[in-house]
Chains A and B, each alone.
Chain A
Amino acid sequence: MTTEIILQAVATGLMMGLIYALIAAGLSLIFGLMDIVNFAHGEHLMLSMFSSFWLWSLFGLDPIFSIPITILLMALCGVLTHYFLIRYILKAKMLIQICATFGLSIFIRSIAQFLWTPDFRNIDKPLLEGRLEISGIFIGQPQLFASLVCLVAFVLLYLFVTKTETGLALQATAQDRHAAEILGIPSDKMFAIGWAIGLGCVGVAGGMMANYFFIFTDVGINFALFAFVAVALGGFGSIIGCLYAGIIIGLVESLGGLLIDPSFKLLYVFAIYLLVVIFRPQGLFGRY
């Protein structure tokens, strides 16, 4: 076990971590805004990867260029999800909310399996290929690019939520939707915007990952689980917490896989979740 191998694992973990962070940020935004956990988050990620794949396969658009289209499609998907499902269960019991988004996840996944079969696909000869070597560490170019794009998207998201008027309105709705409504912020519209942005984040992550990841109908499950962990770890509704949490998860996954046993990668991440929710239920960076 040399330092190089460990550094290699750290680099891989960091790059995956940034992607986890962006996916988790989308989940956290929706969770913080309306107190609903989107159990279909992984399926939305899968949809965005497929969108990227079909744009490449049907129109020959490289994932790098089709990213804006994927983001728009996912934002549209978020708005539709809000208007056709979430709107009706806003006032329902938590149990019903969980069941509804769980139902959505089963529905999307099985429709995808029905339409596109469970085959594994990947994008052949994307523009970004190959790897860089930096003092003995190999970094895949598409991976590096994806994580940088995710980081940029993350910063933009953070600036949007904290600096713009719409972002502040979102925060106001998250804190107290009735008070916000009295001040003239339409909560229904804010929820739709929240879903659009939340799934837009997923669109960025999915679109970029389509470059180098296998694309299949069950791909989202693990990412969604990691996003749940990241949201709990980062703290309820804290977007910046998601960034740290995502990186921690990425590092634990790759270092745990390297140092202990790679076949139990998922368990290390789950263990973090259990430890955090038991000993620090507000998360590491939670505002409560």
Chain B
Amino acid sequence: MDKLLTAKSEPLWNTDKRIIFLISGLIVLLFALPHFGLNSFYLHLMIMIFMHAVMAQSWNVIAGFSGQISLGHGAFFGIGAYATSFLYVQYGISPWIGIFVGIILSGFAAILIGIPMLRLSGHYFAIATLLIGISFQIIFQRWEWVGAASGVWVPMTSGDSWFALQFHSSKMPYYYIFLVFFIITFFLVWILSRSKLGYRLRAVRDDPQAALSLCINVSNYKIIAYVISAMIMAPMGSLFAQYILIIDPDRVFNIEISIIVLLITVLGGIGNVWGPIVGAAILIPISEYSRIYLGGTGGAVDLILYGLILMLICIFRPEGLISFFPKNILERKKQR
């Protein structure tokens, strides 16, 4: 039966030359950037952009490619954060191993949540994930074994340590770690979007009935997308935990995480590999700067902006900012 599905996967190099140059140039630039004497604020800004781009990319896989709107994606972020910190604090296991444990745990959680939930359609799935996201926060707030509401405090090492994934003298190592994860995720999702799996996911999104009639097992593909998405999210939680070294349920399971990934993706362009990157590159500086200049007033100015941007984008540009860019360049080269 599999031969019926003739969608061919597209190799990445089948792309406009200008885009290939742009990507290689960007990668070189990003690797060289810290050597131009950025102060630690700009390093922090770049780290946040990388982190949020990956998080939004994760959400893009489930919402953009397979069309299921998850409003509780923060759960996987939190699982990743708790996995590394908890293993390191309790058992002294290196966060590097913790990252992989977090990825696996998130994948399992996604399977467990996905099997019953992904049968639900549209709104019901969105609400279910919203409730699940909040449930995770409530459960971790009361779970004594993982520190309940006070969370996990990662003890500081005396100096920089690659084993403990802690760097106190400079933000540079964090920058490179986040950058590498950012690049890996970008290519993974790009390959995914051009693979058979990616085409089938989009078929599931656009017309489940038609996909079903072509022998695509709709619910299985939704679960696959959900698991991939969760596994991309988890390492960001782990790295974030290592970056700030204190985690608590209100921070890593916060509903704001689920909101911001949605916002970035919708702003940049949903269902597009470039969308989350554009979205994060625009939104995170806005958010950080508005927090610097207006944060002291106690008002939630950055949140006002988020809400406004989200509504305006939905009304005027549902395809996101990336749709200003000529489509034929971003897509693969025309078949001759």
Contact = CB atoms under 8 A, between A and B. Distances in A.
A98 interface: yes
A274 B266 contact: no
Contacts of B308: 103, 107
Contacts of B307: 103-111
B306 A277 contact: no
Residue among B126, B142, B297 facing the most chain A CB atoms (10 A cut-off)? B126
User: Chain B interface residue count: which class?
Assistant: 35 or more
Nearest to A107: B307
Contact of A95 (B69, B124, B135, B259): B69
A223 interface: no
B128 A277 contact: yes
Chain B interface, >50% SS class: helix
Contacts of A123: none
Nearest to A279: B116
User: Chain A at the B interface: mostly helix, strand, loop or mixed?
Assistant: helix
Contact of A100 (B124, B126, B304, B311): B311
B251 interface: no
B130 interface: yes
B110 to A, nearest CB: 16
Contacts of B262: 99, 102
A10 interface: no
Interface string B232-260: 00000000000000000000000000010
Given A95-B67, A99-B266, A106 B134 contact: no
A1 interface: no
Contacts of A37: 123, 126-127
A97 B282 CA distance: 23
A281 interface: yes
B299 interface: yes
Nearest to A274: B128
A109 B297 CA distance: 16
A95 B304 contact: no
Interface string A248-288: 00000000000000011011001001100110010000000
Given A37-B127, A95-B270, A228-B127, 9 more contacts: A92-B314, A99-B313, A107-B304, A107-B307, A107-B310, A110-B299, A114-B304, A228-B131, A281-B124
